[in-house]
Amino acid sequence: MIMASSPRNVFLQGGNTTEFSEPVLKLRRLPFSAPLGSPYIKAADRPRAPISCSAVADKMPATVGGALDSNSLTTRRLMTQTFIDQAELMTVSSTGKFGRFGGKFVPETLISCLSKLEAEFILALHDENFQEELATALRDYVGRESPLYFAKRLTDYYKNSEGKGPEIYLKREDLVHTGAHKINNAIAQAMLAKRIGRKRIVAATGAGQHGVATAAACAKLSLECTIFMGSADVGRQGANVLLIKNLGAQVKVVDGSFKDAMSEAIRNWVGDLETSYFLSGTAVGPHPCPTIVREFQSVIGKETRKQAEEKWGGKPDVLVACVGSGSNALGMFHEFIRDEDVRLIGVEAAGVGLDSGAHSATLARGDVGVYHGSMSYLLQDEEGQIIGPHSIGVGLEYPGVSPELSFLKDNGRAEFYAVTDDEALDAYRRLCQLEGIFPALEASHALAYLEKLCPGLEDGAKVVVNCSGRGDKDAATVYKHNEERV
Ligand SMILES: Cc1ncc(COP(=O)(O)O)c(C=O)c1O
CA of 428 to the centre of ligand 1 (A): 15
How far from the centroid of its chain's Cα atoms is residue 230's Cα? 21
Contact (Cβ atoms closer than 8 angstroms) between residue 314 and residue 336: no
419: β partners: 349
Task: Give pLDDT tens digits for 46-56.
Answer: 333 333 323 33
Atom in ligand 1 nearest the alpha carbon of residue 208 = 14
Rounded distance between C-alpha atoms, residue 229 and residue 243, angstroms: 13
Rounded distance between C-alpha atoms, residue 418 and residue 268, angstroms: 34
Question: Which of 178, 182, 210 is the pocket-test mutation for ligand 1 (most atoms within 8 Å of CB)?
Answer: 182
Q: Which of 470, 393, 388 is nearest to 424 (CA)?
A: 393
Percent of the chain whose pLDDT exceeds 70:
81
| Residue identifier of the C-alpha nearest atom 15 of ligand 1 | 395
Percent of all residues in the chain with a pLDDT value above 90, rounded to a whole number: 78
Q: Output 57 or 154, whichever has higher pLDDT.
A: 154
* Contacting residues for 376 by C-beta, under 8 A, at least 6 apart: 101, 102, 284, 362, 366, 368, 369, 400, 401, 402, 403, 405, 406
- Kindly tell me if the per-residue pLDDT of 400 is higher than 90: yes
Q: Which atom of ligand 1 is nearest to the CA of 281?
A: 10
Report the distance separating Cα 69 and Cα 88, nearest Å: 25
Residue 67: what pLDDT?
32
Q: Report the C-alpha gap between 398 and 346 in whole angstroms.
A: 15
**Three-point CA angle 113, 244, 141, nearest 5°:** 80
CA 87 to centroid of ligand 1, rounded, Å: 26
Task: Report residue 281: phi and psi, to 5°.
Answer: -95, -5
116 burial via Cβ count (<10 Å: 0-12, 13-18, 19+): middle
Of 332, 300, 337, 306, the residue nearest 319 (C-alpha): 332
Q: Which atom of ligand 1 is nearest to the CA of 174?
A: 1
Question: Considering only CA atoms, which residue is closest to atom 13 of ligand 1?
Answer: 395
Could you read off the pLDDT of 407-438 as tens digits, one per residue?
Answer: 999 999 999 999 999 999 999 999 999 999 99
CA 364 to chain centroid, in Å, comes to 18
**Mean pLDDT, range 68-79, rounded to an integer:** 37
* Fold observed for domain 148-178+295-485: Rossmann fold (3.40.50)
CB 284 within 8 A of CB 402: yes
Q: How far is the CA of 411 from the centre of ligand 1 (A)?
A: 24
Q: Which atom of ligand 1 is nearest to the CA of 443?
A: 3
Residues at CB less than 6 angstroms from ligand 1: 180, 206-207, 209-210, 282, 322-328, 395-396, 440, 442-443, 468-469
105 pLDDT higher than 70: yes
CA of 76 to the centre of ligand 1 (A): 40
pLDDT at 93: 52
What does the pLDDT read at residue 52?
32
Residues 303, 350, 415, 378, CA torsion sign: negative
Q: Which ranges of 137-257 would DSSP assign to H, the alpha helix?
A: 152-157, 182-195, 209-221, 231-236, 238-246
Ligand 1 midpoint to CA 286 (Å): 19
Separation of 395 CA from ligand 1 center, angstroms? 5
Nearest residue (CA) to ligand 1, atom 1: 469
pTM of the entire structure?
0.84
pLDDT band at 72; cut points 50, 70, 90: very low
Closest CA to 319 of 250, 413, 385: 413
Which amino acid appears at position 72 of this protein? S
By most ligand atoms within 8 Å of CB, the mutation choice from 262, 292, 319, 327 for ligand 1 is 327
Separation of CA 324 and ligand 1 centre (Å): 6
Q: Is the pLDDT of residue 66 over 70?
A: no
Rounded CA-CA distance 77/74 in Å is: 5
Rounded Cα–Cα distance for residues 225 and 395 (Å): 20
Whether 453 has a pLDDT exceeding 90, the answer reads: yes
The pLDDT of residue 95 is above 80: no
| Ligand 1 atom at minimal distance to the Cα of residue 283 | 10
Task: Tell how far CA 152 is from the center of its chain.
Answer: 27
Which residue CA neighbors atom 7 of ligand 1 most closely?
324
Beta bridge partners, 345, equal 320, 415
**Gap from CA of 385 to ligand 1 centroid (Å):** 24
